Structure 1
Amino acid sequence: MSEATHSFEESFDWVVVGSGAGSFASALVMRAAGHSVLILEKTAFAGGTTAKSGGVMWIPANPFMLAEGEDDTLEKAETYLDALQELDGGAAPGTSRIKRRAYLENGPRAVDFLVAQGVALRRGPDFWPDYYDELPGGCKTSRTVVAEPFDTRQLGEMRKRLRKGFAEFNVLLGDAARMGHMRTNPDAKKMLLRVALRTVRDKLLGRSFTTAGAALQGRMFKAALEKGVEIRFDSAVTELVRGRDETGAERVTGVRVEGARGSGTVGARLGVLVNAGGFGKDQAMRDRYMPGTRAEWSLVPEGDTGDLHREMERIGAQLAQMDQMVGFQTTIAPGTENDYVLPGAQSLTGKPHAILVDQSGQRYMNEGGSYELYCETMLRRNESVPAIPSWAIFDRQFVEKYKVADKFIDKKIPKGWLEAGYLHKADTIEGLAASIGVEPAALGASVARWNGFVHAGHDADFARGERRYDGCHFVGDPYADDPARGTIEKGPFYAVPVVPGDVSTYGGAVTDEWARVLRPDGSVIAGLYATGTSTASVMGNVYAGAGSSIGPSLTFGFIAARHGAGLGNLA
């Protein structure tokens, strides 16, 4: 490959922008093929949004499922994904049947490859079903893959470069979810004791564990370092450099970097992979593509400002699905505004004895459904009825069993919650309605209607509780008589605001089944690949199940590297 049109200061075979799951997967493929790899990370830490997340990958027919005798097939998963597209009224630009098939075929292969590289993975909790499990091909157990907890001390001096996770303990994600029901799960206290003893033991042995997304990223980070991948921090890519190959055809040949080493250019002989995250922290882009959302409600790292979205568009890439985000409904209590992870509201309004209403007092969704759909529904509702914020409504039964913004409040309400107008409390529903500025008759009717559904055992408006996911550990309460529904009838009554936060944006460059970036006319921008939330999702405008961002990010990073290295299709 000729670099005659640009004289690079240094060159690698494969240059990766960003250090998320897809970045490490691609780097390991390239190193296994004998090629040099450079990962350029804009921030001071490796791991991206994945490290802050649950680190879950949605991988149908994965080897762990099959080893347990589960009857899952790629054909079932394909049927399910096809049905999801029909829910949305047709295929979005970022997806196609051939691209979805490439994802399904290569997901299990990517898992096998990582395990062979020493990355310890396992099946996710078996109570994590697909989010639309009633559709043809849907799974009611779990198609997820997660990492084993990771001792960060295995990274040595590079330990300080791993982005912090949200759970710095030696515990599996499923066990953590079970322990979250400490007032209704009779085994929770025993589990907590075991984790406490394990933590003491680890400390005595000089171990420092993390779990979930940070464990996945820590394990891949370690493998990448051991395989000779070079990673540079505080190195922002500001330009995708174009040149010509030996035939004279234009292609992306490298990048311009600014950061700790100053400004310079790096050549990429086989290609550049963009996995730089989304634009969750750029308010201007949010205002343009998803008005009504706020950067301060996003859980993404500080570096997610859409730089590479704009740069890919500048050189001709088609951007699509830019109005989509991976929702994370949140309730921001006083003092939590700057928390590393904002308090979630999915496990607030989805549990028994709670509902969500808009500012007119009307209930308008299944509070137990997919977090992506939850926030999308809130934004859509706000176009006709004020619904940002909406109100979580619950009663004494709720606070005696469950947390609000990560706090039990039945014995003592945190300082400032009432004074700041965050938490509203009243002896009657009418008094609560007056406190939050809602017509008392409207709120009273919504609560009475909900109570009627609970007594009937069926939500006739939104079918809450009909899907297995509605009552699972992460949303409802599987230890309750009814995991997803409970009356709101015992005072005092409470309300807190809920807003549509996110764990990332969900749109970006359109790519093909090889993760190559495409122009609006469908032609390929040679030498340029992309994955993760830098791309328009292969899932389209829906979210299939837990891990529908990280699973595709990792899989298409794997696919991109195989294509760039000339390894071809594994089929």
Structure 2
Amino acid sequence: MAAFDEIFDWVVVGSGAGSMASALVMRRAGKSVVVLEKEPFVGGTTAKSGGVMWVPNNRFMHEAGETDSAEAAITYLDAVVATDGGAAPGTSREKRLAYVNEAPKLIDFLVEQGVALERGPDFWPDYYDSLPGGCKTSRTVVAVPFNKKELGPWTKKLRKGFAEFPVRLGDAMKLAYVRRDPALKKLTMRIVLRTIGTKLIGKHYVTAGAALQGRMLKASLAAGVEFRTDSPASELIVEDGRVTGVVAARDGKTMRIGGRLGVLVNAGGFAQNQAMRDKYMPGTKAEWSQTPEGDTGEMLVELERAGGVLAQMDQMVGYQSTPAPGWEKMYVMPPGQSLTGKPHAILVDQSGVRYMNEGGSYELYCETMLKRNASVPAVPSWAILDSQYVAHYKVADKWIDKKIPKGWIEQGYLHKADNIEALAASIGVDAATLAATVERWNGFVAAGVDQDFHRGESAYDSWLGDPYHGPNKALGKIEKAPFYAVPVIPGDVSTYGGVVTDAAGRVLKGDGTPIEGLYATGVSTASVMGNVYPGAGASIGPSMTFGYIAATHAAGLGNRM
């Protein structure tokens, strides 16, 4: 091995959840680990996210008395991948099998390491639950809320989450229906009092992704993993075809850091790099992404330089959003995942035509919007709502039935009218077209069947709808004035392409052979799910699982973990 300033057994670039999973495996094996994070904060996009892992056949499902299996999971994944042709380079049946077999073992391993996990909401169906093997309850796993003060001097180094209060993710999601169920007002008050109470005694609870990463960081520090912030890696060191280390910054100096067993790259994607977006996914904007500012893709370029093959680079984990006034200064843009999936709402393009099932996968939603925009202007599209909607649900996290937030109408974000024709004029679409679209929708609602796009027919559509509404939880007429419209854009929570890897997490060359010593996981890789997003947590689950797999392989542990 060439001269290095430092040598560790395992060098990890990026501090996402997959990085920490791999680090815990290596420390369990008695190996030295350094995690290099270019930003001032640890946690990556995972910390800012919902922190959900999609893990079929997990221990929490079985504890709840549910039946799931690797056979059902691979049947489902095969069917999901097939919906897009099944030819995406990042997926193969071998990799999908590795995922469904190893992901439950990862969860068991993390629990053994003291990482407190639990089942996500017990009703969070797979996004294509009607396909063979699909789950209509929940295959999700999340972290238990975490007091980040337990991190001691690392407390301020954990990247901020979007839900920094003591509440389980499932309970937080119920609050969307606070006007539908009086009991939820009591839950809201309990959360408020709990938040105040815990802060008074010096605790600071976080949930979702920050809880997951806080717990992973605590376990990793306790295991002896070395973390370095403000330490960007700029180069992979390649000797005789093998990656032996990285060039990285430390305290303003450039250092050569060797990795005896290998280097794992989990440095995110390129969501914040507009030039790369223009190259690979034109028509999308970095400013619409929920990823941290450091998600700029340099390591993807470096992985390619080292011999890796980039694939699925036109893919992103779309997450529809609505750009309410002031969104540019918000830590998280107002989400639109369920905005048009609830009763009394539809989505139309700029011609006034409805063109998709407004429920379903957020990845598919945004992909459909972008494809539509190639033939009919659809970015932004318009959410069309009536007064029944705004009486029951928030818009951009605000109640607007009694008081419209300042600037929403004046800045052209919210449009309000006493009839559909006037609303159409306000948003610049043909009045007759929009009126016909709404009339057709209302006919479908009356019949109980969306004949155009089958909204409301899947368990996931029902989940996105309203549990207190019936008979179809996703269908409701747009008929009660006043009527409203807000724009919806194809945002994202990450890109979804990167280097092609094998079932062991090794980066592959163009001829299909592995680059020795080089591993990758997370959205630095072309997704094992291909070009489709099968369920909540289909990015974080694979990131952690293949981080676990890569470290197990590099350490020569086989199946002994």
| Partner Cα separation in structure 1 for residue 479 and residue 411 of structure 2 | 26
Following superposition, the deviation at residue 158 of structure 1 comes to 0.5
The answer to whether 1:409 aligns with 2:405 is no
Following superposition, the deviation at residue 260 of structure 1 comes to 3.3
Residues 179, 185 of structure 1: 8 Å contact kept: no
Structure-1 residue corresponding to 2:522: 532
The answer to whether 1:11 aligns with 2:7 is yes
Identity of aligned residues (%): 68
Secondary structure of the 2:535 match is coil
5+ residue gaps, structure 1? 245-249
Following superposition, the deviation at residue 243 of structure 1 comes to 1.3
- Among 206, 230, 254, the alignment partner of 1:263 is 254
Structure-2 residue corresponding to 1:521: 511
Residues 51, 210 of structure 2: 8 Å contact kept: yes
Following superposition, the deviation at residue 204 of structure 1 comes to 2.9
The code of the aligned residue for 2:259 comes to: A
Residues 21, 544 of structure 2: 8 Å contact kept: yes
| Partner Cα separation in structure 2 for residue 569 and residue 153 of structure 1 | 35
Secondary structure of the 2:346 match is strand
Secondary structure of the 2:489 match is strand
Following superposition, the deviation at residue 259 of structure 1 comes to 5.0
The code of the aligned residue for 1:356 comes to: L
- Among 540, 553, 556, the alignment partner of 1:563 is 553
Structure-1 residue corresponding to 2:128: 132
Residues 113, 219 of structure 2: 8 Å contact kept: yes
Structure-2 residue corresponding to 1:371: 362
Residues 78, 104 of structure 1: 8 Å contact kept: yes
- Among 16, 31, 36, the alignment partner of 1:35 is 31
The code of the aligned residue for 2:469 comes to: A
Secondary structure of the 1:329 match is coil
| Partner Cα separation in structure 1 for residue 541 and residue 70 of structure 2 | 15
Q: Which string of whole-angstrom CA distances, capped at 9 and with x for unpartnered residues, describes residues 184-225 of structure 1?
A: 123210111221222233123221100010000000000111
The code of the aligned residue for 1:559 comes to: I
- Among 423, 426, 430, the alignment partner of 2:414 is 423
Residues 36, 227 of structure 2: 8 Å contact kept: yes
The code of the aligned residue for 2:387 comes to: R
Matches within 5 A, 1:92-107: 92-107=88-103
Following superposition, the deviation at residue 528 of structure 1 comes to 0.3
Q: Which string of whole-angstrom CA distances, capped at 9 and with x for unpartnered residues, describes residues 484-530 of structure 1?
A: 11111111111111110000000000000000000121011110000
| Partner Cα separation in structure 2 for residue 569 and residue 114 of structure 1 | 15
Structure-1 residue corresponding to 2:534: 544
TM-score normalized by structure 2?
0.99
Secondary structure of the 2:356 match is coil
- Among 308, 313, 317, the alignment partner of 1:322 is 313
- Among 62, 69, 93, the alignment partner of 1:73 is 69
| Partner Cα separation in structure 2 for residue 204 and residue 85 of structure 1 | 50
Following superposition, the deviation at residue 570 of structure 1 comes to 5.2
| Partner Cα separation in structure 1 for residue 315 and residue 351 of structure 2 | 26
Structure-2 residue corresponding to 1:395: 386
Matches within 5 A, 1:338-349: 338-349=329-340
| Partner Cα separation in structure 2 for residue 368 and residue 81 of structure 1 | 20
| Partner Cα separation in structure 2 for residue 187 and residue 368 of structure 1 | 26
- Among 444, 464, 476, the alignment partner of 2:465 is 476
Paired residue total? 560
Which 10-residue stretch deviates more, 68-77 or 253-262? 253-262
The code of the aligned residue for 2:380 comes to: P
Which 10-residue stretch deviates more, 196-205 or 377-386? 196-205
Structure-1 residue corresponding to 2:150: 154
Secondary structure of the 1:348 match is coil
Q: Which string of whole-angstrom CA distances, capped at 9 and with x for unpartnered residues, describes residues 411-468 of structure 1?
A: 1111111111111111110011111110111101110011111111110011111111
Q: Which string of whole-angstrom CA distances, capped at 9 and with x for unpartnered residues, describes residues 31-89 of structure 1?
A: 00000000000101111111111100000000111122211000000000010121111
Secondary structure of the 1:175 match is helix
| Partner Cα separation in structure 2 for residue 187 and residue 450 of structure 1 | 32
Matches within 5 A, 1:129-278: 129-244=125-240, 250-278=241-269
Secondary structure of the 1:301 match is coil
**Off by >2 Å, runs of 4+ in structure 1:** 258-261
- Among 474, 481, 485, the alignment partner of 1:495 is 485
The answer to whether 1:84 aligns with 2:80 is yes
Residues 176, 394 of structure 2: 8 Å contact kept: no
Structure-1 residue corresponding to 2:430: 439
Q: Which string of whole-angstrom CA distances, capped at 9 and with x for unpartnered residues, describes residues 369-406 of structure 1?
A: 10000000001111111100100111111111111111
| Partner Cα separation in structure 1 for residue 81 and residue 227 of structure 2 | 38
The code of the aligned residue for 1:478 comes to: P
Following superposition, the deviation at residue 261 of structure 1 comes to 3.7
Residues 178, 185 of structure 1: 8 Å contact kept: no
Q: Which string of whole-angstrom CA distances, capped at 9 and with x for unpartnered residues, describes residues 205-257 of structure 1?
A: 2211000100000000001111110000011110001114xxxxx20000011
- Among 460, 485, 489, the alignment partner of 2:475 is 485
| Partner Cα separation in structure 2 for residue 550 and residue 72 of structure 1 | 20
The code of the aligned residue for 1:409 comes to: I
| Partner Cα separation in structure 1 for residue 272 and residue 54 of structure 2 | 25
Residues 184, 480 of structure 1: 8 Å contact kept: no
Residues 241, 252 of structure 1: 8 Å contact kept: yes
Residues 43, 303 of structure 1: 8 Å contact kept: yes
Residues 327, 371 of structure 1: 8 Å contact kept: yes
Which 10-residue stretch deviates more, 312-321 or 291-300? 312-321
| Partner Cα separation in structure 2 for residue 398 and residue 179 of structure 1 | 16
TM-score normalized by structure 1?
0.97
| Partner Cα separation in structure 1 for residue 502 and residue 324 of structure 2 | 42
Matches within 5 A, 1:458-473: 458-472=449-463
| Partner Cα separation in structure 1 for residue 349 and residue 250 of structure 2 | 46
| Partner Cα separation in structure 1 for residue 560 and residue 33 of structure 2 | 22
Following superposition, the deviation at residue 483 of structure 1 comes to 1.7
Residues 95, 528 of structure 2: 8 Å contact kept: yes
The code of the aligned residue for 1:376 comes to: E
Q: Which string of whole-angstrom CA distances, capped at 9 and with x for unpartnered residues, describes residues 275-322 of structure 1?
A: 000100000000011111000000000110001110001111111111
CA RMSD of aligned residues (A): 1.0
Structure-2 residue corresponding to 1:110: 106
| Partner Cα separation in structure 2 for residue 332 and residue 358 of structure 1 | 16
Which 10-residue stretch deviates more, 70-79 or 192-201? 192-201
| Partner Cα separation in structure 2 for residue 234 and residue 196 of structure 1 | 35
| Partner Cα separation in structure 2 for residue 556 and residue 538 of structure 1 | 10
Structure-2 residue corresponding to 1:247: none
The code of the aligned residue for 1:67 comes to: E
5+ residue gaps, structure 2? none
